[in-house]
Structures are given as C-alpha cells and as structure tokens.
Structure 1
Amino acid sequence: MNLLFEPIIDGILTDGYGIADNFLTSDEVVALAKSLRQRRGMGQFRGAGTGNQLLAVVNASRGDEILWLEEATTAPDEVAFLQRIGEFVEYVNQTCYLGLCDYEFHYAVYPPGTVYKRHLDQFHSDSRRKLSIICYLNTDWHEADGGQLALYLPKINGGKEQQITISPMGGRLVCFESGRLEHEVLPAICERLSVTGWLKTV
C-alpha cells in the first residue's frame, strides 16, 4: 500500500493536494456504485446541507444528495473501502505526524445540473477536519460530462491565485488540506457519484 499512498502524501506536502488514480480498482468502483444506487433507490439519501452535522442548512450553494456510512450498517464492499482508508490514516500518521484518530465518510450523488459552490471544508468552530478525501465512482467519464473538482491554490509571494480542475474519473482519489484549500464542484452534466469524507483529529 505504501506505493499507493506515497504519491498522495508527496502531493499534499508539495502542493497541498494529492491524487491517486488507482485507489480503487474498476471492480471496486462498480461494486460501490451499485451499493450507492441500491441505497438511494431505498430512499436512504437526503439533500445535503452546509454547516456542521447538527446545524446543517440545506440551501442553493450545493445540490448533492448524501448518505453517511455507518459502521453498523456497512456492506462488505464499504467495509473494505473504510479499511483501506484506515490504512491510509496510519500511513499519514507515521509519515506526517498529524495525529489523525477518526474519519467520517458519506456517499454523494450530484444529479445533472447540480453544483457545490466554492467553500472550505473546515468549520470556523471546529478544526478537527484535517484532510478532505474524495473517491470517485464514475465509469466511462468524459470531460464533457462536467462535475470537475476545482481547487483554488493559495497565492504565493503576492502572485495570482491558481485554479486547477480535476476530473471525477472512477477509482481516482483526491486528498487535500481541509483548512487550506477552497474548492467547488463544477456543474455536473451527467450524474456524478463519489465517496467523500474527512480525516480528523480529536
């Protein structure tokens, strides 16, 4: 797993974000996407809000539907994903000494035409979120399908802000600093699927 995790860490240390294009195999992408759709078909998803979980407010800044993954109700494929995340947490703690001790993840569906406007993942009143993770579950995705992740890199030495866009290709994981990089989800032309979450300290 070190060979999978090292490029992510290197990217975070260098640029504030890291990418692993094969964090999930094609079979794992298909299995998790199937589980997502089954759960959504059972009416388990709800419209996402902004703010912390206790005070979330649904508004026009985001249009995704989500379902939190709870250990007591996870299916085998979901358990395998969370175990890999746990291994990544251990690796990050060994290499970066962040003191991560918890994580939270949810499925996210962006129906066609929806977005998530520019924001920061770390709350003003709660700084426990240290690293944001998005793992995409889309197959046969093309640039014209939209739904790209836009990251806004901080200005360096008074220079211009840099924006980069990342396509939501199936199996790709994106990880970035929750309290540093503002980001947004650009308009999705096709239904966009992911598992999204945060690695947290106490």
Structure 2
Amino acid sequence: MVALNNTSSVRGLSPIDQSLFALIAQDIEKRGFSIRPAALPEVLTSSLFEHQQLIEADKFKHAGIGRGDTYLKNEFVRTDEICWVTNDSQAGRDWLDWISHLQRFLNRRLYLGLFSFESHFSHYGPGDYYKRHYDAFRGEANRVISIVAYFNSGWTQADGGELVIYKDDDDKDGINVVPLLGTLVAFLSEEFPHEVLSTKRDRYSIAGWFRVNTSVTVKADPPL
C-alpha cells in the first residue's frame, strides 16, 4: 500500500500529538484506515463544538454531490447540512493548524504528497443519513485521505448515526464507528466505500480531505 520511512520526529509537535500521529500513520500503512477514540485534543474538540453551535443556521447548506459546476443536491444519497471551515474563527484556525501538523507528519512518514486540506462542519438531524459512497474514485479525483472528527457526548449505538466503513464493494457488514466525542477517523479516500446510518438525534462532526495538487496551467485544483 504505502511504505513508512524512518523519520522519528516532526518539529513543533507535542509528544502526545506525535504519538497519536504515529499510530494513525501506522494504521494507514497496515490497514488503510485508522479509528482512534478520544484522540482529538479535548480543548480543540470543545472549541470546535462550541463554534459549530454558534454558527448561524443560514450559514449551513444542504449537502450535495460534486462541487463547482457539477454540484447537485441529492436527498436520495444524503440529507445532512454542511458549513465549510475557514480561518475566520479561532476554532477554525486552531483546527487547521493542528491538521497541518498531521499533514506534514503523514507526508514525512508515508510519502503521500499531501498538498492541501479542506473540511466542513456537518450536522445530521434526526432521520438524516448519507448512503454508501466513495470520497474519491480511483484515478479520477485528488482526495487522498479522508478525516472525520466527532463532537457528540453520551452517544450510544441506540442513537444510530454510525459511520460504517466497508473494506470493498462486496463487504456487507463493514466496521461500525460510533460518532462519540473526540473520536478521530482517517482512511484512504479511494479505497473504502462508507456510509452514515440514519441518526435518531442531532449529530455533529467535521469531515475533511487531504488532497494532492493536480493543478494545470488553465485550471486550478481545488477550484476557488
């Protein structure tokens, strides 16, 4: 899949973050995905959740499929609503700074050539879902690693809304991830179909993607 190198440290990382990032890199190298409960720093988790709660409702939009001129709302596929994360807030800046450290660590360890990162807050209300899909199709997109972080305290399996990661198109069971506060998930975007089961209560998270640079002279990627 991808090979680890022997780099042992990344400047500026705390020992806790470095240990976490090493575990994520190891998981991705061995299995292609990483599921780490209570991994997102507590202060960052609280800041992001509080900021998401303060975002005005009209800043969120119903999620769709595709982007730019190909964007299409499709309630058969997904019914959640999203708001893109920017550096206009302290919480957004802290998140993007933390994730940039993870990006550099993964590039040093896994030689992935990760170039940029984009992410959005996600809100699933009761009854919302996201049907089985890939975040990137092999050879057709530039998303390399998908990242999800959850902000839901006291969540149980009875609340629904689990992320299900399938190992391939033939997998019928998958691995269920309870969207519990602080859980961090990472997986290779082209390799794993996945879905979000219908939720029975409000469900909050961030979803994001590390991308490679596929810009050409007449076309910027990602589009502005």
The TM-score with structure 2 as length reference comes to 0.82
Of 11, 14, 28, 1:12 maps to 28
Deviates more, 1:53-62 or 1:132-141: 53-62
Instruction: State the distance in 1 between where 2:86 and 2:140 align.
Output: 21
1:170 counterpart = 2:181: yes
CA RMSD, aligned part only?
1.8
Deviations 1:74-131 (A, max 9, x none): x112211111100000000000000001010100000111100000001578421000
Structure 2: distance between partners of 1:161 and 1:12? 22
> In structure 2, how many angstroms separate the alpha carbons of the residues matched to 1:168 and 1:160?
21
**1:29–1:138 contact (8 Å) kept in structure 2:** no
In structure 2, the residue matched to 1:82 is: 96
Give the match for residue 55 of structure 2.
39
C-alpha change, 1:17 and 1:53, in structure 2 (3 Å) is farther
Task: In structure 1, give the amino acid aligned to 2:141.
Answer: S
Aligned CA distance change for structure 1 residues 27 and 128 (closer, same or farther; 3 Å): same
Shift of 1:187: 0.9
Secondary structure at 1:141 match in 2? coil
User: Quick one: distance in 1 between partners of 2:168 and 2:146?
Assistant: 16
CA-to-aligned-CA distance 1:123-144 (integer Å, 9 cap, x gap): 5784210000000111121111
In structure 2, what is the equivalent of residue 183 of structure 1? Answer: 194
After alignment, is 140-149 or 53-62 more displaced? Answer: 53-62
Q: CA deviation at 1:161?
A: 5.7
Per-residue deviation, residues 51-84 of structure 1 (Å, max 9, x unmatched): 234421111210110001123x2x1122111111
- C-alpha distance in structure 1 between counterparts of 2:44 and 2:85, whole Å: 16
Preserved CA contact (<8 Å) 2:153 2:181: yes
Superposed CA deviations along residues 124-181 of structure 1, whole A, max 9, x for unmatched, are 78421000000011112111111110011038xxx96651111101111100010110
Shift of 1:201: 0.4
What is the alpha-carbon distance in structure 2 between the residues aligned to residue 30 and residue 199 of structure 1? 23
Percent of matched pairs sharing the same residue: 32
Bigger Rg, which one: 2
Counterpart among 181, 192, 200 of residue 203 in structure 2: 192
CA distance in 1, matches of 2:173, 2:204: 26
Structure 2 match to 1:96: 110
Deviation at 1:22? 3.0
Is this contact kept in 2: 1:7–1:19, CA < 8 A?
Answer: no
Aligned to 2:73: 58
Which structure 2 segments of 5+ residues have no match? Answer: 1-16, 214-224
